[in-house]
Structure 1
Amino acid sequence: MEEEFIDSASDNQAPLLEIGDQPSRDFLELFAKLDPTINGEIIEKAWKQYDTISQQIILEGSSSVWMACAFFTSVWKSTPIGHQELICHYSLLKLIELCKVSVLDFFDKLNKWADMILATRRLLDFVNRVQSNLAVSAVIFKKFLPIFRYAFAQQKPSSLEKHLTSAELFEFIWLFFITMRKQLPANNEDLMNSYNLLLCVVDYIYHAISISRLKNHLNADFDKSKTPLEVLCEKFEGASLDTKHLSTHWLNPKLLRLVIENLIPFDIVEDKFNNFTAIRKAFEQLYERKMSARSEVDERIFLKPLLTFGDIIFSDKFEEEAISVLSGDLCQYINNDFLIKFSSQNCLAKLNAPEKIQPPTEGKSYMITPDTVCQNSAFYSDMKLIERMDELLSISRREGKSFNFDFVDCQGNPREYIAEQVHIFGQKFLSKVRKEEEESNERESSDHSLNQIQLEKYVADIETLFYYLLQKILIYDQQKALAMGLEMNVDLTAILQSSEFLVSIYICAADLILWVNEDSRTFRWITEIFTDNVAPLEFYRIFELIVRADTSFSREMVKHLNQLEECVLEELVWTTDSPLWAALQNSRIVEQFGESSSVPSSQILSKFTGNLQRNKSDLTPQIINFFKKVYHLSAIRLTDLFERLRISDELTKRKIWTLFEHVFRTKIILLKDRHLDQILMCCVYIITKVCSLKIAFQDIIFHYRHQPQASSNVYRNVLMRMDLIDKKEDPEQTEREDLIRFYNKIFVPIVEDYVKKLYPSGPESKENVFPLISMPKTLVNPLSPRKVIGDRINVIPLSQYSQTIARHRSTRRFDIYKSPSKDLRTINAMVNRGLPTYGGQKLVYNYQ
């Protein structure tokens, strides 16, 4: 029977789909036009990549641009690591023109293609580098125009063949600049260095023309009291010292070296322009060789308007058309702000990188400011998050002094105890960070170093946010209890003096502060600090309380909190040292999805009290609520996988869910030191295998990777031991293999007998020895919070205990999915008639 379940892909993994043996005619014609000498192996790799993705995903628009994207990435993948040049030299601009799309459209498609092929970090960095280099060139080109107009005079075209026009001079200086820019050392083509190089090149050409027969090209109004380079730096806010250093110690020696290597004529270092055509041709050859070897866009694209409109260097029309050429179809120039949509989003990240030296103050004119960034960019979103958090912290600091816990029902004022605990938490946080700083200083490297001022600010912000969250939770608890008709009959002293409750809020506050400030420290790093104070099984409940409370968090913040809760439910709670295993050791079985706890909560915060009652399965209500959340999360992810895998048969879905619940109720040891998604994927595959569905394990993994929580570590790093691991033994050092081998060696032997009963074989067998369990409905989560949408209207989940709540006589109740529509019409009629009172009291509408 085992042969039916084993997945052969573990040893010899087959491709996800059947790939066409031969590239299509359109595919071959496209690259034959690009370069007939392209290596056939690269063409084959590009075709396989394109054909695989085109079968899996509907590609919008022209197919040629997607073929070009496949070729672009295949060339990079075929190049051995460490090579400075790509294995295949070709013109990216020519390829884009053959596809009949704009440059911006191509890069937009390329970014989507990188997502579809699950590009590695190195490939993504390469794609970003190509785009950012073009973006920098666009910025520099716009700065070059006023510089040229100031240094050189306008010359009208002449009928004499040997006459040098302004357009030709402009083209040559730009060619000179982009050629030398390609000679800069790696990672030195940023905006600052490029702008300094432009000033050096203009100074070099200005000096060469001043001693040649072409002096008529110089502007007579040019300031001659200083050197040309000093004048240019002063006039256009360049970094004078850096520019002089670059000219003396890099540009001039580099030109001499290129002459010695016979790459450019000797005339260029003698400041002679007698053989201008030969000089320009040499620079063109040198530039094209470098440009094609790096798969970058030809930056001479900005000069195209000169070919269309003639000698318009000194016209305002030229500046508009030169930049908008990237947004058009290379024939029609669309008036579009390229800098906002492209340059700002790519250059700004590099300019603002913390490891980069900040530019001098005199260079502000060519710095891209946040005001120029498109409001839909990632940078803008990050700025809004920081601004929102600063606003919340400011509010908390203003209200903090008046927050004395007078409104809560507790004996005495717990502020002193809470302040003491918060101080202890802060010291543990500081101690952990400082220890890492000392270790990183010994290694002379650090991924996330903080100076003392930043560290103190982090701790202060975490403490402020802690009190803000605590206040909102307590206020919400009181308001919610009153809205539900409950009395505040629980003394909150035990809760406010519970270290677990306080440290849970502190963990949440610390993670939010680090996340908003884009610190590289993760949520798991924070939880490890407070392992002695609270376990993930205990503090995950705080996320629900915070989301329920009206904390004024943005959507991104709430989404982040939900992700943290899922992180706990799917992995952190299943570690060997989790208290969950001790709770399950003496209990019977986990309840099925939908079975309710027999102990209704009388108050929202009562889940943090220490009085734990037992129900029929010997599990506390807190543990049962935890399993309900896990069941609900599992149902959501399975439903998504079913849609992606196109599993529409309800019987198959019920078998998968029945097997999953069986694992949870009787074989939960499978989850120890593993991930919830690993068990889900195994359950899906083994049932689809016995149901003869043509779904490979690789298909399941492929579609899993498109889920928002997906991580490659889930299916590449799975624990392969079933015996109990010693707590002293690091689980990371134990034997680990990929998910398919875990499925074959461990999962199949454990569930094989049960699966046989779900799908028995033989002529006299009856299918489904065990009754199948239906998939739970995931449209409405009965445990999820609902936000208060008004001062007098609350929307809350319908739960077991809410049905017995004593309602105020002035309330009108409407249960979604249960109450008839006439009840809702009655409520709407009362609102529309404006009935304000009932016996002189204002109506309170409570929608449940």
Structure 2
Amino acid sequence: MRRRKGERGKRHTTDMVDTVIVQLNESNPEPNAVLNPANIKLESDNREEGEEDEEEEDGNSQSPIAVLEDDEEDEDDADSVIDKTNTPEPSVSFLECCTRANLPSEVTIASWEIYYHAVQRVSLEGSEAAWQLSAIYYYLLSKGIKRRGKASRLLTQPFPISILTIANTFDVSVAELIDKTTRFAEIIHSRKMRRYLEYIRRLQEGLAVTCVIFKKFCKVFNGIFEEVKESTHNCPSSYELFTILWTYFLVMKSRLPTDDLINNYQLLFSMIDHLYTEMSSLQDGIVYHLNQEFVGNLIDKDCTILRALCTNFGGSVLDTRHFYQHTYKKMDKTGLPTSWDFAEFRDEIINASKDAYDSYLLLRGSIDERVFIPSPEDFSMVFKDQFVAANVLKISHTGRLFMDAEFLNTISNNQCLEKLSHGKAGLEKLSQGREQPKVPCVEYNLELGQYPEDDASNQAHERLVRIIGGWKLERSKLKEMCERMSDSPMATILLKSDELTSKFERTLFEERGESSQMTFMTNFHHDLRKELEKVFLIFMEKIIVAEVAKKVREEDLVNVVRREEFLNSVFCFCVELVLFSNGYDRPFPWSADVCDCHPFMFHKVIDLMISHEKRLSRQMVQHFSRIEENVIEYYAWKSDSPLWQMVIRCPFANFQEFGEDWADKLNTYSPMKFTPLKKSSSDELRDELGRPIVPQNQTSRTLRIFLKRTYFTAARRLQELTDRIAMATRPKSQCWSVFDYLLRNDTLIFMDRHLDQIILCCVFVIMRMHGSSVTFHEIMAQYRRQSSSAMYVYRNVSVFRDQVDEDNPVPVNLKETISERLEAPPKSKTTVDVIKYYNIEFLERIKHIVKQIDTAPDEDLMEMPIPTSHGLAPVRVYLTQNVSIQVLPRTQYKESRQERAITHLERSGRTLENALSNGNE
């Protein structure tokens, strides 16, 4: 009976609409054939004749209200209160907009009924036209989206008209359309609502990706093409070419298997490479668009177009080339231009991709993404980098601004692009991320976003000069602050500065084998020494001023400033800064050796120094971030490291799991961490459960920070490696559980070894435990593709020589403690590859724990921390596992540009002063 009542309501509405449409047609000399009253009456009569048949069919009613009632679960709904037989006639403005949009009559009538149905439920605030448009969009989608079965990218019933065309007639922006339609779906509340909202979510994500890609496309177009304002019979204008290429891209984008950001970047570069090659082969016409400067660079560098695009506009050459060969070449290119000869095939070139994309839009029911193309009057902004694509979405066809623009917040939302970057597994990974602890980036990357970025590496020295400025010791705050202290540390600071700068200069002389007589390079090194002296004193000034402002006790501050290991660490930082700024390639720990500073102590001052100088460039901060990573992965674990004495006093096992406690106040070191260590009581404190209580002294704080940073580094590398070998969720947790057990309970395994060596072994033992066919060589092949990989890691694992004795190998002592290892006489060591190390030692150390890990339930395993990321940077997608990369050997040192220039002058017999004077002339 409900279905019969709905039909009566629809026929009644049709009768009322007839008179209104007749009035419109009388005022319109060319009436819309689709909205002909006779057609509407005929359809109504046909429905009346077949009413009994439709009543017997389940779910085939043509009434939109009946369709909604079919989908609703409760009969005692708001619909039962609404009198559907008294639906008023559509407004004149609504019918006028539908007429201009060429909407079929059944869509007009059904959308009006749904709109009125929503008005009776709630009070709709805002633009009436926007709500009416959302009713049309909702109706068209409800006819095409399946209620059951696997979701499809295409609708079961295509749209009669593009939704953007309809939106333009209603003068509603894209942002407002999506915002209102989402809310409209919640008002109607049908069983399809979940699928409907999922469709809108995918639509939002697609537009978010397109916004990013369009911005990149504008830069590429601006970089490789010249502006041609007028078109000819054989050469289009820049606006026409831009429209053709963007439409070409949208057609190819619709044929991608997954609509993620990385694939779209690679598709864009592959398409431009293909089209650029075709255009270059022509002798006339479209070839005039090519930017001759870009062409010249290709010829001079003997570079392929694809490589130039990736280099100039940010892309991975290897991944893009793989995408081009194995995906782009095999993609269906039906409906796309086959020739770019405009003199003969102009209409085909312009209309081929346009017709293909128009057809796809109606089948997909999505927003026409050609909306981003600026108007011909504003097109010149593309060549001036002034066009903002996202603004198009919040402005209607006539320029009316959507003030809320909530959808634009979705575009800039990190979670939206995070789901896209992970592809189909995005939702699963996000749900895991909510449960797993996340390590904030500030924990490791030293707040890189707060520092300025230089345009070129040669500007690093100019930035160092600006930091030094006109600083003079005589009128500095350093001298003033020290003189105020009862026991001034000024003499200690100056003595250390003179001692270490002299050693720095002397070491440079010795490396080059120079004599004591003054040469051009000697003068240059002397200038470096002067820079180093000033930089060291400037940083000491900043540290003392900052600590005094914190009202630190003068006695404690003087003790820290006079500590030799603290002064050496600060000076080591200044050496690295001066070397980096002057282009010297002295790999770490060269500076630590010069300053008699252990890398573990040096890494404690890195974030302290950076926090006191905000004028460091982004490249400078990244340089120190890489050094800190080297310390955490290798140098801190060397047998001569101060870390081991700290671990003896306060083992890692005493620290509780961090859980969500990654971002507390104890994340960074301070100068006070260099105060003398207090000896802990011989009686170990324990809580009521018998667990040791970690005393809150400087040792425990230092180890706690170091332990968290070690976890971050290991989690990031283990996550990347396990992703590359396609490891499942449970094996990942098992890998992390094994690594955590070794770090806390068998810390000795890390002595004189690299963090990655232990990670590789952990991954392999879990793969073996699950019966995987992945070999150790395949794991190492995936490891070599990581940015942090190094050949010596898997070829040189430190072991005792008696462990590899061919005649009588000595097994590893599993009960040996850290103290026993350090106090015992030094034993001869050698290196083996990581596979041999796994067999002779690692497997023995973890045999007992692997059995427990294998049978442990999921809730007892440790979740791997997920390092968070900031911004909209795309996440790398690994397209293949069968690419071999050979790392070429590097020389130990590489001369800087200054060294090479001065050496050349010496060989030619010219003086530096003459060279400079000739250059000025």
TM-score by length of 2: 0.40
Larger Rg: 2
Q: As a proportion of its length, which structure holds more helix?
A: 2
TM-score by length of 1: 0.43
